[in-house]
Structure 1
Amino acid sequence: MTQITDNFRYWILIMPALAIMIIFYIYPVLGIWQISVTEPEAGFGNYVRMVDSSAVRTSFLITFRVAAITTVGCLILGYIVAYTIANFASRLTPLMLALVLLPFWVSVLIRSFSWIVLLGRSGLVNDTLRDMGFIDAPLRLMHNELGVLIAMIHVMLPFAILPMLANMRGISDTYVKAARGLGASEWTAFRSVYLPQTLPGVMSGVLLVFVLALGFYITPALLGGGRVLMISEYITYQIQEFLAWGLGSALSVALLIATALVLLIAARFVNLRSILLDRK
């Protein structure tokens, strides 16, 4: 009887969240799947067009390349920041945490426009380099993949820092001290003792950044200037410019499947449950 009561309470608690998920996520996704095989005609014609299109293949290639480079950049910079906050910035920890969280209080659109001001032909970076005599003509820092990567890394960096920082703050320093006491160098103690304990946080940050970067739209659209056409922007063009709802929906389904495949592949190498539920 007690178990039945506990199960009833459990379902009562999760029903509101489950209902919201079904109404605002699962039902729209099923609608997208339906449109992809019914417009303009029934069948898998949209998927055939998608597979045969070189533009679609190029867009997917750009999307995965930008997402991968963004993930690597966020991993390197995020690990350094998280390690510094967790181990060396005891007095400055509140300030540094505030600086990490500050971007969440500012719209992504505003942050992307800020990079346009910085990286434009008459932007702050080019004007400073020209005034200092380093360049004679403005550098092309935006409307290309370089500008997209710089802005994407900036936008995604907090998503890499926070999981790694949460993991690092739960690691006891006694293990590293024990390794140093046994004669290990500082680098050996870090590489053999500390780094393996941070891998759950690293994997959480990598997966979060990569998955978010796959479907990112605003920053690539503004900084790419139509020259770095990631798949999310390509979908927008198909629906808004060409009214090709069927092809746009098929591309959306393909992106969803690609994201799911990334998670499935990651699950074969790491325990996603332990990563997502890690509380260290």
Structure 2
Amino acid sequence: MSKRIALLPGLAIICVMFLVPVGFVFQHGLFDPSFTTEHFTRFINRGAYMRIFWTTLQVSSVVALACLIIGYPIAYFIVRQPSRRRPMLIFLVLVPMWMSILSRTYAWMVVLGKEGIINQTLLWVGLIDEPLKLLFTTGAVYVSMIQIMLPILIVTCFSSMTEIDQSLMRSARIFGASPFKAFREVFLPLSLEGAITGTLIVFILSMGFFIVPALVGGRKDTMLANIISSQVSTGNWGFAAALSIVLLTATLLVMFAVRLFSSRFVHHQGETS
């Protein structure tokens, strides 16, 4: 009974900070002022909104996978370093996170602009005759979002990797396994859970991005959060709430699907190893 009582403050905070706001969103999306599905019908029937929805899923998925491909080896490199070096390396990873997303996005605008460092360097070397269009492109959105999200995945993977007993790798080597085989058969299965968790965190956060696409992307790079923001600014609360429900539902469905698949995959990896 005492343990249940101890959970009450946490449950109260969840209700106040999450369930109540989500309840208001559902109320605005489904009752405007009486029960209606007009907003969801508008979303489904207009091809532009569906295209933006699929763009949001695509961008978030690509960013999450790219962060996994780049961030996992970095986290593995850090965890394999002597313990005295790890704090400094993690510090270097965390430094960009101390700056606001808006500031980092503006920095990318400066770097990728026609007068930016990349174009000026290419012009000075003589590889191009006129500045390239790097800003307001899909590539600019990907680069900016990956740079912003990468530290989150690195830290998540590093946290799970530090819990792995490093003597297991040495034991595998003693029994004749090559370094790559020891990593594949021992370390990788044990670190998959952290890697999947970090990838999901990046995906969830990316689904709600609107600053980066608005500043460095083009018209075709508009994401669902940008539409929600514009609808709120024009006072169309019902449609904005409906879009928020769609965004929340899609994120939860992807998260549960990945968790279901990953739990079976990780369990299978553990059995085979």
Equivalent residue for 2:183, pick from 190, 204, 227? 190
**Which residue of 2 is the match for residue 238 of structure 1?**
231
C-alpha contact 1:82 1:165 (8 A) present in aligned 2: yes
Q: Give runs of aligned pairs for residues 197-216 of structure 1, distance below 5 A.
A: 197-216=190-209
C-alpha contact 1:143 1:227 (8 A) present in aligned 2: no
Give 1:226 deviation, angstroms: 4.0
Deviations 1:129-159 (A, max 9, x none): 1111121121222211100000000110111
Q: Give runs of aligned pairs for residues 1-280 of structure 1, distance below 5 A.
A: 4=1, 6-7=2-3, 10-11=4-5, 13-39=6-32, 42-88=35-81, 90-241=83-234, 243-271=235-263
| Matched residues, number | 265
Which amino acid counterpart does residue 172 of structure 2 have in structure 1?
A
Please provide the CA RMSD for this pair.
2.0
Give, in whole Å, the separation in 1 of the partners of 2:67 and 2:99: 19
For structure 1, the residue ranges without an aligned partner over 5 or more in a row are: 275-280
Deviations 1:230-254 (A, max 9, x none): 110011122324x322211111001
Give, in whole Å, the separation in 2 of the partners of 1:186 and 1:32: 52
Give 1:196 deviation, angstroms: 1.1
Give, in whole Å, the separation in 2 of the partners of 1:27 and 1:59: 28
Give, in whole Å, the separation in 1 of the partners of 2:219 and 2:34: 30
C-alpha contact 2:112 2:140 (8 A) present in aligned 1: yes
TM-score, scaled relative to structure 2: 0.90
Deviations 1:154-186 (A, max 9, x none): 110111011110111122222222222222222
C-alpha contact 2:97 2:148 (8 A) present in aligned 1: no
Name whichever of 33-42 and 227-236 sits farther off.
Answer: 33-42
Work out the percentage of aligned pairs sharing the same amino acid: 36
Deviations 1:11-52 (A, max 9, x none): 2x4434433332332222111111112337641111111111
SS of alignment partner, residue 63 of structure 1: helix
Q: Which runs of 4+ in 1 moved over 4 A?
A: none
For structure 2, the residue ranges without an aligned partner over 5 or more in a row are: 267-273
Give, in whole Å, the separation in 1 of the partners of 2:100 and 2:10: 26
